[in-house]
């Protein structure tokens, strides 16, 4: 297990960070062990859209999809690539304005026999979620660290404290909560997400349909 803390992810807030677009617009980042990028996109019912060379091109393609729609688009672009982590190969999936990692049906279908972790933000609104699935089961999820649910809502409490999240009360204002969530995700996956990793990855992409409103 890594010893990552919020300090290791201070880069996400820097003015030149490639992740600033994700924080401003909204994103979902999902990591799953032992599932290929192609399989992840298949489970998401994504229509293949080729490869993006780096994060800048993924952002550009996302903007093009928005520009092609007169209203809010009925689909979003997801990009996925392989990366090494704890226990072998993981797939990292990233989308802007999408919600794959927050969809229970998707995460349950993705995680039997393995682990899947996601975190997300809807941009300017203060809604940020974390989800940990193990063997098809939602183990721990939260928006605010002190308000957790899942089958084992308290299992990560010690780890949360170590990365800078307070599972029992108010958050330390000196610690960036999103950076701490990145660190918690690294501890569960062994995958360190860096500027260089996101900027230089080859993303296999797919267009994912929005879920119908129930």
Domain that holds residue 12: 6-209
Task: Please list the helix, strand and coil fractions of the chain in percent, rounded to the nearest 5, in that order.
Answer: 35, 30, 35
- What pLDDT, on a 0 to 100 scale, did the predictor assign at position 15? 76
Cα→Cα distances 77→97, 128, 162, 203, Å: 9, 20, 34, 11
Neighbour-count burial of 74, counting CB atoms closer than 10 A to its CB (0-12 exposed, 13-18 middle, 19+ buried): exposed
Helix ranges, the chain (H): 20-25, 37-43, 55-67, 104-110, 157-163, 177-189, 195-200
- What pLDDT, on a 0 to 100 scale, did the predictor assign at position 212? 57
Greatest mean pLDDT among 58-62, 95-99, 120-124, 182-186 lies in: 182-186
Q: Of the candidates 133, 59, 144, 66, which has an alpha carbon nearest to the alpha carbon of residue 94?
A: 59
Residue 60 is assigned to a structural domain of this protein = yes
Residue 214 is assigned to a structural domain of this protein = no
pLDDT band at 52 (very low <50, low <70, confident <90, very high): very high
User: Cβ distance 81 to 87 under 8 Å?
Assistant: no
- Calpha distance 77→118 (Å, rounded): 17
Residue 88 is assigned to a structural domain of this protein = yes
Per-residue pLDDT averaged across 144-171, rounded?
A: 95
Tally of domains within the chain? 1
Residue 24 is assigned to a structural domain of this protein = yes
Residue 175 is assigned to a structural domain of this protein = yes
Per-residue pLDDT averaged across 159-187, rounded?
A: 94
DSSP 33: E
Cα→Cα distances 76→24, 69, 111, 145, Å: 16, 11, 22, 28
The 10s digit of each residue's pLDDT in 83-131 is 999 999 999 999 998 899 999 999 999 999 999 999 999 876 668 999 9
Q: Which residue has the tokens 């780890």?
A: 159
- Calpha distance 14→8 (Å, rounded): 13
Both tokens assigned to 63: 């903007």
Residue 144 is assigned to a structural domain of this protein = yes
Residue 27 is assigned to a structural domain of this protein = yes
- What pLDDT, on a 0 to 100 scale, did the predictor assign at position 130? 98
Residue 1 is assigned to a structural domain of this protein = no
């Amino acid at each position: 297990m890594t010893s990552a803390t919020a300090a290791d992810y201070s880069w996400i807030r820097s003015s030149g960070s490639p992740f600033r677009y994700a924080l401003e617009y909204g994103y979902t980042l999902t990591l799953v062990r032992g599932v290929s990028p192609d399989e992840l996109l298949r489970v998401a019912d994504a229509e293949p859209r080729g490869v993006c060379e780096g994060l800048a091109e993924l952002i550009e393609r996302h903007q093009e999809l928005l520009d092609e729609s007169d209203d809010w688009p009925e689909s979003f672009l997801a990009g996925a690539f392989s990366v090494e982590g704890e226990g072998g190969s993981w797939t990292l999936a990233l989308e802007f304005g999408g919600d794959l990692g927050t969809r229970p049906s998707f995460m349950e279908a993705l995680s039997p026999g393995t682990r899947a972790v996601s975190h997300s933000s809807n941009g300017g609104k203060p809604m940020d979620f974390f989800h940990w699935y193990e063997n098809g089961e939602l183990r721990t999820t939260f928006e605010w660290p002190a308000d957790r649910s899942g089958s084992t809502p308290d299992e990560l409490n010690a780890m949360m404290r170590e990365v800078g999240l307070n599972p029992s009360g108010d958050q330390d204002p000196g610690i960036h909560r999103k950076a701490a969530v990145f660190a918690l995700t690294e501890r569960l996956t062994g995958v360190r997400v860096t500027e260089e990793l996101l900027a230089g990855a080859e993303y296999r992409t797919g267009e994912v349909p929005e879920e119908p409103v129930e």
